[in-house]
Structures are given as C-alpha cells and as structure tokens.
Structure 1
Amino acid sequence: MATTNGRKRPELAAFLRSRRARVTPADVGMPEGLRRRTPGLRREEVAQLSGVGVTWYTWLEQGRPINASVQVLDAIARTLRLDQAEREHLYHLAEVPYAPERVADAECVGPEVRGIVDGLHPLPAVVYNARYDLLSANAAYRAMFPFVHYAPEGKCNVLWQLFTMPVCCNPFIDRDAEMPLLVAAFRGAYGRHVGEPAWETFIERLSAASEDFRRLWAAGDVLPPGHRIKHVHHVSVGELRLTSTSLAVGGVPETRIVVYTPNDEESRARIELLCAAEDPVIGCCVHARRLSEIRALRAEVRELEQVG
C-alpha cells in the first residue's frame, strides 16, 4: 500500500503539469503576455484562477505530501477545464473521495449502441436509463415485453408499466419476489438524484397510481443492478427462464444495456418462436389482444391527440 500511495503523488504531479500545458491564457480570458517559454498556463496563473496560494499549488504540482480539500480540487479542475473522467482521476490521485456531479437522465442513445443491441438478437436486449425509461430495444425484447415498447409516449418506463397494469397481466411469474428487487434497484439510483424534479414527480405519480409501489418504496430497500434470474410468462409461448445481465454504457452516464439469456434450450426455442410470430398475442389469458390490435388502437389515440 505504501508503494501505491508513494506512486500516486508523482502521477498527480505529472497529470497536473500535462493538463496545465494544454490550457492557453486565451482559454481563460487572460492576455498572452511576453516571453512565455512554455505552452499553457503558468503555475501562478493556475493558482490565481483557482483562488489558492502559489506556494501551495507549486507543492501540489511537485507531488509533495500535502492535503487538498474537495473545494480546492474542484476549483483547480474548473481552471484546468477537466472533463468528468479527468476530474475523477484527479480526485483519485489526490486521495480525496470523489462525488461526481449530477448528470441529466439520458433520453436517447446513439446509433452505435442501438447497433450493438440489435446485433444481440435473438437474445432479448434493451437500453435503460437510471429511471428505467426504455431508450432502445431489439426485436426479441419487443416480442418478450411488448407492453413497454408499445406504451403511449411518455410512459415507456418499465416501473410505470409493471405497477399500473392489472396484476394478472404482469409477465413475471414470481411477481412478489421480482417487484421488490426492481424498486430496490431504482432506489439505489435515486440516491444520486434526490430533489431533482423529474425524479420526484415520477415517484409521486407512481406512488399515487400504485399502492404496491408506494408500499415497496416506503420499505427503503436498496440494491445495485446486476445478474438476476427471471421467470417470465408470455401468453403466446408459455414460461421463459432467463438470466438478466446489466452492462454499463460507456460515455452515457447511468445508462445500461440489459441482456436476457435463456437458461435452457426450451426457453431459447420459445424465444425464437416468439420472434417469428407475425402477430403475437399480448397480455394475460383474460386481457389478451393481438399486437396488431394494440398498434391500431395506439395509432388512433395519437390521431385524436393531434386533432385535439
């Protein structure tokens, strides 16, 4: 451990020098001045812009064993125009716990991510943001969980659909075990968004719409995303036994790809059969409808909304 900590200070010194060298005086609204022998800002300029003493900053950049506060590191990061990854690296080298800035919830993903998700077919795969909004899904996922993909605009959210649908239509066979896990994972993400209007409004609306969600939310359980065993019932093909795997999407904070892998050959064959169906039945035995009916109904609703 001593060797590791001893190595961090020289790394910190080199990192600060390299970041300082790439920021020009013009970048921070300062005149170039005369006889500037090296590129980028001088140490005294970084210190001045960051509101710290020149001697203190010099010692930090020399790798001396001095302590730095969160506020000071934030000021230096702003002066050196560090991005999120560089800011996290600075904190790590200075041995200060890193608290990332809040980021807006992703509302879409790029074509590269969509291509990966589509390429996973026939494994069902989907992209969620931290609030469980559906951002992209391949054909196998749409066939397995059509109620999310074909939900009205603004309601393509797994939690909203699962908690507001009739209990008999819920696709999870062990609903009483599955729903608490979803809410616990959702609460784990909520900790980074406490007080944000979009999150608070969503929780308030879902609590009002679902007594089950309100009860589970009040329990306060927290769980990170991860591998889960899921047993899903689809009225068209029967039971599907799956393992869900959550994978973070680089460059899109708090967004993940979830892939569902069949646990046995029977489940794999049933997914392929489901994907091949031209007009599958959706819902439970009581409320079952053909996909074509649901699409037609949604198109009619959209037309009425546009006319209104």
Structure 2
Amino acid sequence: MNTQTHPNDLGEFLRARRSELEPTQVGLPADAGRARRVAGLRREEVALLAGISVDYYTRLEQGRLSPSKSALAAVARSLRLQEDDLDYLYRLARLGRTTVDRQRRQTVGVQTQRLLDSLQGIPAIVIGRYMDVLAWNPLAAALYVDFAEMPIEQRNLIRLSFLDPRFRRLYVDWENNGRNCVAFLRMDTARFPDDPRLASLIGELSLRDEDFRRWWATHLVASPTCGSKTFLHPQVGKLSLDWQMLSCTESLDQAIIVMTAAADSEASRALEKLTAVRPATDQ
C-alpha cells in the first residue's frame, strides 16, 4: 500500500473543501429545488467566485498545473478557507515546502531537557515530528502511560490514541481527540511530503483503525496550540486540564506540551495524588 503523499493531494483537498459549502453560504443563489449530482459547490461556481476560468480550476483540481500564488489565494477565498486550511493548501502547492533529514533521529536538547526536569506538579511531554514522544516528566507518564515501557518507535501520541486501548479509555471525549489528531497529522503531510516515517505511520493507522481511515479521507486540517482535555483516569478519576504547546527554540520540529489545572481545583488535587504513583522516567 503506497501511503506517501499522493501527487494530487491538492486536488483532493480542494474537492473536499468545496463539497462542504452550499451556494447560499458564498452568496450564490440556491438551485430552486433542483437536485445537485454532487454535494457542495460545482467547479464552475468556485471558478466564478475566484475570477478564474473553469478550465484553469479544473486543471488545478486534476493536478495538471502548478498554480500561481494569486490564483491559489483567490481559490482559498472562494472556499472560505481558515488559517490552518490555507497553510496546508500552500504547502501542498509547494509554495512553502519544508524539507527534513529523513535519517536523523530526533533528540532533545540539553536546555529543553533541563526545562522538562524542572517542571514539578505539571505533566509535560516533548513531542517531535508527527507527535512522536521524545521525552516526558514523571507526572506525564503517570497521567498517560509509562512511555519507557514501550519501544521507541511506538512512542507516538497519535498512534497511541488510535491503537492503545488505555488511551481510548483515558479521554472522556475520545472522538474529538481522535479527529484533532488526524487533522494535526494531515498538516504534516504537506510539510514533509516524502518522509517514509510519516508514510509508514499513516499506512499503519489506515490499515488498523476504521475511524482513522474514515476521518483521514475528509482532509480536515488543524494545528491547535492550546485547549482543554477531560480525562477519566483509572487511579484519580475525572480531571479537566488545560494544555498549551510551547515551541522549542533548540529545534523547530519540537514542542513541549504542558498541562495545568486551576489552583485549588479538583483537577489540581488529582494531579497531587498522581505524583505519589508516578513512574520513574527512563529515556
């Protein structure tokens, strides 16, 4: 199964986005009761809104031309793309491509590790490309799983979210978490279109999980940097934590995910209980 970025991912993404829009959402008249053969906008409607020819837009969707920035911007406006979608679109069009050394193993720098070790009472994880777990503190292992017990190649938050039953049980709203994981991973396919590590991860998840396979086909994209998650932990029960993704200056491909709770809240007391059962890290 070939899971590397398909040559016409750009066209598939455009079709997915226009299928979600109704004419009335973009200022076009309704069809007056006439049934549409396909959901969403037609190609000619997108072309009209973008001010380009139908032939040009058709060839763009079919992967038969490389668009200019101005034409792509016009199409993006027509499809009402949000910031993450727009970033993904430009990367697919190779107008902002990022390369990566495929053979280089991701490592955590000394300063980042020192910061991680200094965080007390706060679960924290260092993630790399594709949400590989590179390092963690004891409280993060107590909250999630003891990452030291699993092989390095399996230490990936997205992989664990779909394939490890402990992770599915941990999230109160697992479906929302799973969708966000898929959207986050989809962003990386535009950043690293030929990376075999990414292709292998997508292939494994597509083969082994029906939810991943279905959501991957929707071409949803997102790169959130903060939010909230509610966990149902087997030892301390329900706890809601706020999370933030902090950039690592030592490596642009790495980030630190930290989870915090409001002072004197049930969640903060639950974290205090977890410190008593936290496993030792062995990275």
Common fold, TM-score beyond 0.5? yes
Counterparts of residues 109-124 of structure 1 (less than 5 Å): 109-124=108-123
Q: What letter corresponds to residue 201 of structure 1 in structure 2?
A: S
2:100 equivalent to 1:103? yes
1:135-157: CA deviation from partner (whole Å, max 9, x where unpaired): 11011101101154532331011
> Contact between 1:148 and 1:157, CA under 8 Å: does it hold in 2?
no
Contact between 2:170 and 2:231, CA under 8 Å: does it hold in 1? yes
Letter aligned with residue 269 of structure 2: A
Mark the CA change 1:169 to 1:203 in structure 2 (over 3 Å): closer, same or farther: closer
User: How do 1:149-298 residues align onto structure 2 when only pairs under 5 Å count?
Assistant: 149-166=148-165, 169-263=168-262, 265-277=265-277
TM-superposed deviation, 1:278: 6.3
- Counterpart secondary structure, 2:170: coil
CA pair 212-98 structure 1, distance change in 2 beyond 3 A: closer
Cα 1:113/1:238, change in 2 over 3 Å:
same
- After TM superposition, give the deviation of residue 167 of structure 1 in Å: 7.4
Q: Is the 8 A contact 1:163 1:210 kept in 2?
A: yes
Q: Deviations over 1:166-206 (max 9, x none)?
A: 37853110112121012111212221011221111111111
Q: Which amino acid aligns with 2:275?
A: C
Distance 1:234 1:223 in 2: 27
CA distance in 2, matches of 1:128, 1:168: 17
Cα distance per residue 1:107-148 (max 9 Å; x no partner): 111221011012122110111012111011011101101154
Cα distance 1:262–1:150, how it changes in 2: closer, same or farther (>3 A)? farther
SS in structure 1 of the partner of residue 130 of structure 2: coil
- Structure 1 residues 254, 263: closer, same or farther in 2, change over 3 A? same
SS in 1 for 2:275: helix
Could you tell me which residue of structure 2 aligns to residue 145 of structure 1? 144
| 3-state SS of paired residue (2:100) | coil
Contact 1:148 1:161 in 2 (8 A): no
Report the count of equivalent residues. 185
Contact 2:127–2:256 (8 Å) recurs in 1: yes
Question: Which whole-Å CA distance do the structure 2 matches of 1:130 and 1:168 have between them?
Answer: 20
For the 8 Å contact 2:144–2:167, the answer to whether it is kept is no
Greater CA drift, 141-150 or 175-184: 141-150
Q: Distance in 1 between matches of 2:158 and 2:117?
A: 23
| Unaligned residue ranges in structure 2 (runs of 5+) | 1-93
Q: Which has the larger radius of gyration?
A: 1
Match of 1:191, SS state, is helix
Change (3 A) 1:213 1:278: closer
Secondary structure at 2:259's aligned position in 1? Answer: strand
Are the structure 2 counterparts of residues 211 and 147 from structure 1 closer, same or farther at C-alpha, using a change threshold of 3 Å?
A: farther
C-alpha distance in structure 2 between counterparts of 1:224 and 1:147, whole Å: 26
Q: Is the 8 A contact 1:143 1:275 kept in 2?
A: yes
SS in 1 for 2:231: strand
> Partner amino acid for 2:249?
G
In the alignment, is the contact (CA less than 8 A) between 1:172 and 1:232 conserved in 2? Answer: yes
Asked whether the 8 Å contact 2:109–2:250 carries over to 1, the reply is no
List alignment gaps of at least 5 residues for structure 1. 1-96, 280-290, 296-308
Note closer, same or farther for the CA distance 1:133–1:232 as it changes in structure 2 (3 Å cut): same
